[in-house]
Amino acid sequence: MPEPGQGEVLVKVQAAAVNFPDILMTKGEYQFKPPPPFTLGMEYSGEVVALGDGVAPEWLGQAVVGGGKGGAFADYAVAEAKSLRRKPQGLSFAQASAFTAAYLTAYVTLVRRGDLASGEWVLVHGASGGVGLATVDLAIRLGAKVIAAGGSDAKLERIDALYHPTACVNSQGGFRDAVKRLTDGRGADLIVDPVGGDVFDESVRCIAFGGRLLVVGFASGRIPDISVNMPLIKGFSVVGVRAGEYGRQFPERGRENLAQIDALAARGEISPHVDAQLPLSEWREGFRRLMDRQVVGKVVLIP
């Protein structure tokens, strides 16, 4: 049993979310490479059951949300008290464990980097993934007209039932014409791309003048190139998004970002979707579902 040290608390983990970096860490392919043995898990929620020296007594018994580079896939986790946040009352433990990274990325993408205005058209690629689904949900709450894009009709039907975006588009075989048609030929004002590759290339062809093409990741495996004459002629911006680094570079804004998504969750204005809850002992199945792209939203492990 771990023991909390100075300024730390012991958290009984109630739920922990699976993220792609967890899978990459098992292969030694993530930028953070802890020496084995180590405990995986970057996001969790739980209850504070013990306090280290110097921690205010009111922390005891608090329902909290925490995370870091590891340690969440366990019955108990030790964390610095100052790194934890109160669990939003509107969320279950499973939802609370799964919403921070996804919705923080969505918030930085849409608000901080994308300067989203109500009524704008937002095209979200990879809409069934954790970040994509959070972006769909948040963009709708911010008043955007949202086009959810992905490669599976079955997943798009689930997204439509969960969040009712303006439209769902199957991107297999091309999406440019569908986006142009939906936007009366103008194109999307914001395009959120965690996929890269061919998806990025075609996005350049259906972005509005003055639009913002937000690069979130390269899930396809290919990092695309762009000729700078395209942003010049079409008057759009290519904007990189690193939500965690944004908070490190601008600490005050980083705290504001977390406060904003916590407030949205507490008011019930966002609704994180947990696709599956599995016992911690079935972590391999959770990883497999993520690797095989069977998930809409997040998979959560329950100790």
| Integer angstrom CA distances of residue 292 from 286, 289, 295 | 10, 5, 8
* Identity at 91, one-letter amino acid code: L
List of residues 6+ apart from 269 with CB closer than 8 A: 141
φ/ψ (deg, to 5) at 189: -75, -40
Question: CB of 297 within 8 A of CB of 275?
Answer: yes
Q: What tokens does 121 get?
A: 């058209």
Q: d(Cα 282, Cα 136) in Å, to the nearest integer?
A: 29
Question: CB of 215 within 8 A of CB of 193?
Answer: yes
Q: Where in the chain is the domain with CATH 3.40.50.720?
A: 101-245
For every one of its 303 residues, what pLDDT tens digit does the chain have, with 9 covering 90 and above? 999 999 999 999 999 999 988 988 998 888 889 999 999 999 999 999 999 999 999 999 999 999 988 999 999 999 999 999 999 998 999 999 999 999 999 999 999 999 999 999 999 999 999 999 999 999 999 999 999 999 999 999 999 999 999 999 999 999 999 999 999 999 999 999 999 999 999 999 999 999 999 999 888 889 999 999 999 999 999 999 999 899 999 999 999 999 999 999 999 999 999 999 999 999 999 999 999 989 999 999 999
* Identity at 130, one-letter amino acid code: G
Pick from 68, 67, 66: nearest CA to 32? 68
Question: Cβ–Cβ contacts within 10 Å for residue 191, how many?
Answer: 30
User: CATH assignment of 101-245?
Assistant: 3.40.50.720
pLDDT of residue 21: 87
Q: What tokens does 63 get?
A: 């329902």
Beta strand segments in 102-195, E: 121-124, 145-150, 167-170, 188-193
Q: d(Cα 228, Cα 213) in Å, to the nearest integer?
A: 13
List of residues 6+ apart from 223 with CB closer than 8 A: 196, 197
Burial class (CB in 10 A: 0-12, 13-18, 19+), 295: buried
Biggest CA pair distance of the chain: 62
| Integer angstrom CA distances of residue 281 from 21, 286, 302 | 19, 10, 9
Q: Where in the chain is the domain with CATH 3.90.180.10?
A: 8-87+273-302
pLDDT of residue 58: 96
Domain 8-87+273-302 classification at class level: alpha beta
